[in-house]
Chain A
């Protein structure tokens, strides 16, 4: 069995954070957090967990490291939260470093372990609470911390300035009008049926996705709009950092910008973590049991377009594809059937991975792990050998990946294990297959 202490990775955010800690300070923060923020749920989990180890087999980190017990969910919980609770926070600063590295980079919060725990322990929740403590202690990997700072300062993940955002949209509109004359990206259209929101990496470096979305919206004749003001970014690294105050600010801004425009509903782009933030965590932090504005994920939207006959394609995608099930929309919302309907509608042949649907293996990028940046890239690569095996076994070259995190994660895995495959968003495929005006 390896130990977290033996695989410490140098990271300025963790190092500088730990340098400012004393055992007394740790104790104070841990106890304040445990007393003030957590309650019966965490307490019951700690008591009810029988340390039976059944969850181990669920975790891609555990399986990919030849069943190294150090990576098993129960061990991660035992070595972090359970230890903090048992010792009432009386641990050395270096121990916080180890706990932070474990919680931020060796757990994707994918909740696959939920399918293996007989007593219903939510290890994902436990690790989120560990991250919360580490955040309050200011021990956070630098890259994701920086991203959370960007959220806090600019209300978007990528330091996109307000004018740059509008510029990007108008630039895409302009480009797209060459191909689709008359295409619009309507900004701030009050009362539109659809408010389309994206994650900030889209305008920043995947701008073609906005182009494609505009093409699809226009072809389908959707009454849609995009907001010109902050709130347009639905992503949320603050959630993964443990900065719940800013998570709340972000979600409030997102919902309120939609409410200000009196739109009927929000349609989100192909992202999983943002969906988790809007649908599962941020909304609850704000006290919404149901969404203040109805929110649907791109997969649901495409499904609607398909069933209503608004999604028209000239032919089917000919090469066989496989489907990545992103945890946040599959285990998080149950979109596995709709995802399959859409992919089968678009593609000739689908080769399924095993296991799939809600029992899918995580991409190892989600949960903010990919956002912890280059220092931890190998953690993701060695931690998800199982995904590479799974992908390789399909024998196909194209992977449909309706999530930005999964996309980044799988592209990395594909490169590292030399699988010769390529990831595609559903939007990529629809755009490729849709009818385009003769040029």
Chain B
């Protein structure tokens, strides 16, 4: 069991990070090349100030028509994304990981806070799942891919909480947690989670169009 742990937290982690980083670069570069080849009439209108204006306006909860119209989704989205980043980077155990593997020392979240945020992220995932099951306008467009993305993103949090609270065999849970996180990392560029890579660009383009050409708000 310990060997498995050493393997998943050692070489396999490097593989996962490698796939994530190289995969992301590949996807971004190839998408940009495609855009340059085919979307000249859109690229020409890209504007940094209007792109940023749009991104900023959509980063404020309840600032936009979309966020105002569905408060539950708004809260879930912000809790999920902020919580995800906070836990991934600043959770005590992860801070140790950054330090031992990369020599980067950053402040860590108090354990209780990390725990609460993890639960909040799981709750947000539950809300996403609830919407996919219960709301007709979401259910109708939900496909296997959407469920897959939701599950792989929720798994590291569920296994992490189980490991931290020592539910079930700790070492096994920890191994599963690391595996789940590695799976998630490696799959980001190649699943629906690739929105993490592309959203800034789609948002910025919409912002550029509306700001620079349409002279109207896009929120």
Point out residues on A near B: beta carbons under 8 Å: 1, 37-41, 43-45, 47-58, 62, 67, 69-70, 72, 74-75, 78, 114-122, 280, 284-285, 287, 289, 330-334, 336, 358-359
Contact = CB atoms under 8 A, between A and B. Distances in A.
A332 B214 contact: yes
Q: Among the interface residues B44, B66, B135, B203, which one has the most CB atoms of the partner chain A within 10 A?
A: B66
B137 A334 contact: no
Contacts of B137: 53, 56, 62, 67, 69, 72, 74-75
Contacts of B204: 120
25 contacts: A39-B35, A39-B37, A39-B38, A40-B35, A41-B38, A43-B31, A43-B34, A44-B31, A49-B195, A53-B135, A53-B138, A54-B70, A69-B140, A74-B137, A75-B141, A78-B140, A78-B141, A114-B206, A115-B219, A118-B64, A118-B203, A285-B41, A334-B214, A334-B216, A359-B65
B69 A116 contact: yes
Given A69-B137, A120-B203, A358 B216 contact: yes
B98 interface: no
Interface residues of B, number: 53
B151 to A, nearest CB: 14
Contact of B39 (A39, A75, A330): A39
Given A69-B137, A78-B141, A120-B202, 10 more contacts: A40-B31, A56-B137, A72-B141, A120-B203, A120-B206, A121-B202, A284-B41, A331-B216, A334-B216, A336-B216
B198 interface: yes
Contact of B38 (A38, A54, A117): A38
B136 A44 contact: no
Q: Which 4 A/B pairs are nearest by Cβ-Cβ distance?
A: A39-B38, A334-B215, A120-B206, A40-B35
Contacts of A52: 73, 77, 131, 138
A51 B146 contact: yes
Contact of A41 (B39, B135, B199): B39
B64 A119 contact: no
B196 to A, nearest CB: 9
A289 B146 CA distance: 38
Interface in B160-219: 192, 194-195, 198-199, 201-207, 209-210, 213-219
A330 B216 contact: yes
Contacts of A1: 136, 140
A246 B184 CA distance: 48
B124 to A, nearest CB: 13
B214 A120 contact: no
A51 B192 CA distance: 10
B58 interface: yes
B199 A119 contact: yes
B67 interface: yes
B24 interface: no
B23 to A, nearest CB: 13
Interface string B120-148: 00000000000100011111111100100
A118 B216 contact: no
A39 B38 CA distance: 5
A114 B34 contact: no
A359 B143 CA distance: 30
A223 B147 CA distance: 64
